Structure 1
């Protein structure tokens, strides 16, 4: 469809006209449609998010009352808008003022502050009778067990509470590491993720949710924050779920092959992998091979086979159901027959471009 745009500000004056050509309508592919459906299945219900946020708010109120002049910050999957169903926990931090400089590396450790925080949280038993608080022997967080799940059918709902102090000589915070302190910048992490969600019109959090689910179903080779830290460098604009997964896998394999992921806030140390580098790369490469095969099969005109590969990719029948296997066998026979007649297979889109043929840019962290 075209239209003529003419400058009509000066009557009787001849001006140039411009033809506007409407962009072609992009048809959603079979793979993309399936990914959008899977994304919906793993989203947390609004009422469950509201309940989790209320519990986080309750914790914040008693912690700020205990530590006068403190501030709280939110972090983790709920703050980042990439929480998975079933919803199991929430994250919160409290930054305690230290005007006399008693705490920090080479000074007092965090245990005294953690004990005060834990005792303050116990006040919430009037609202949550089965609440329990654990902090001794834990590396970083105070663990709060509510004894009351947010998602029906789950055993419990918990909160991880970090007691932190400001770093007076550098960026970020000091957070507990058993009886010592580590540097981190969780407030900056949340800011970066929220900026990415805005810049990509939520496709950052939506694609991240899919990769977190894939990670969960493959024995968690890397932590959720590692997924997001890698995505921050490469998911920079609105993008389809197909392009998110393809782009993220290619980038993650390249980067993790070089070594551990650097902290996007340039404060904490590199992000540790949950398994050996060799094991992590094998999981990711196997996943990429399956996902690319799904895209190739769809490009060749075999959507049922593509969906079958997606089911293998996610390893979760509830999130990505397998198509009818009789249909799969019939279409595979059709594909083999076509190959025997020498019909060339159409090439899948290059991994360095989107489905629209646009090259994906990346951001480099300079720490």
Structure 2
């Protein structure tokens, strides 16, 4: 994305934040999602933000009390009132929305995209003082406990601690996720990264650390909320299928690193292409592989041994520009 596109996305986010603060006097707003976390990919299509009511205004709402629908209606009306003049195609949806008011600007930030949207969440303080109640219109209680403010703080700290490697790795992993049937939501990826990426390192090593860690953790069960407030993070597929995809990616990344260390850059690139096909061009590694097999046989091994090839992996990858 360009700097201008990001600046425009943030400007629209500020407009929405100002609007809902006026709608709920004394409230505070927070930003979350990919733009706030610094890991947005191209094309830039949406932003996320929330408004937190004061304790007094929140009293009628929560589990066993009122749902978030009246709050969503207030937010919708305020946004229309403030933004309709600038965005004449603006539409806002609340019916059927699980968590947030959906704002459609009718005007994309990135050229060639159909639209640019925003999720605006109306939240209330949790009585414990830790985290929030956020809407969930799909359950009987109508509210879930969560802590998106702490989540954003944790992500930003990780970006600083790793000298931006955290954000760059998440971007790559979101590409992997998107090209492999989206087995995990983006927040699950980030939550796992928070546990295994805590210092600067080359991106290929960050990918290796993530997949190695994720394989182990997903084999145990769902990922816990890093803030210790919300329920475990659900997967988009059966756990066995997610684990399979993570294992495959881990093996290809390991193989790419082995090839690179052995001086086979084309074989490494071919391997990494299997993980990130949109970002890493494929490479013809025929000659490199023939040479490797010949040297393996000369040294007394078999043609199928070494570098994981006997387990069915095709020689993998690098476009070491990642």
> Could you tell me the TM-score, scaled by structure 1's length?
0.79
The residue number in structure 2 matching 1:161 is 120
The residue number in structure 2 matching 1:199 is 161
Query: Is 1:176 equivalent to 2:135 in the alignment?
Result: yes
- SS at 2:84's partner residue? helix
> Unaligned 5+ residue runs, structure 1?
1-43, 349-367
Farther off after superposition, 177-186 or 156-165 = 177-186
Alpha-carbon distance, 1:153 to partner? 1.1
Query: Is 1:104 equivalent to 2:62 in the alignment?
Result: yes
Per-residue Cα deviation, 1:157-176 (whole angstroms, up to 9, x for no partner): 11111000111224111100
The residue number in structure 2 matching 1:115 is 73
Alpha-carbon distance, 1:347 to partner? 8.4
> Could you tell me the TM-score, scaled by structure 2's length?
0.89
The residue number in structure 2 matching 1:126 is 85
Aligned residue runs from structure 1 range 149-298, under 5 A? 149-178=108-137, 180-298=142-260
Distance 1:115 1:167, change over 3 A: same
Query: Is 1:78 equivalent to 2:35 in the alignment?
Result: yes
How many Å separate the matches in 1 of 2:55 and 2:89?
33
Aligned residue runs from structure 1 range 81-96, under 5 A? 81-96=38-53
- SS at 1:126's partner residue? coil
CA contact (8 A) 1:130 1:146 kept: yes
Alpha-carbon distance, 1:189 to partner? 0.3
Question: Between Structure 1 and Structure 2, whose CA radius of gyration is higher?
Answer: 1
> Unaligned 5+ residue runs, structure 2?
309-322
Per-residue Cα deviation, 1:215-244 (whole angstroms, up to 9, x for no partner): 111111000000110111111111210111
- SS at 1:144's partner residue? strand
The residue number in structure 2 matching 1:139 is 98
- Aligned partner (choices 64, 67, 77) of residue 24 of structure 2: 67
Aligned residue runs from structure 1 range 292-311, under 5 A? 292-311=254-273
How many Å separate the matches in 2 of 1:292 and 1:234?
17
Q: How many positions carry a matched residue from both structures?
A: 300
How many Å separate the matches in 2 of 1:341 and 1:66?
76
CA contact (8 A) 2:255 2:307 kept: no
The residue number in structure 2 matching 1:31 is none
How many Å separate the matches in 2 of 1:82 and 1:139?
24
How many Å separate the matches in 2 of 1:233 and 1:143?
31
How many Å separate the matches in 2 of 1:240 and 1:330?
28
Distance 1:79 1:129, change over 3 A: same
Query: Is 1:322 equivalent to 2:282 in the alignment?
Result: yes
- SS at 2:30's partner residue? strand
CA contact (8 A) 2:204 2:253 kept: no
The residue number in structure 1 matching 2:313 is none
Greater relative contact order, per chain length (Cα 8 Å cut-off, separation 6+):
1
- SS at 1:304's partner residue? helix
How many Å separate the matches in 1 of 2:73 and 2:103?
13
CA contact (8 A) 1:73 1:187 kept: yes
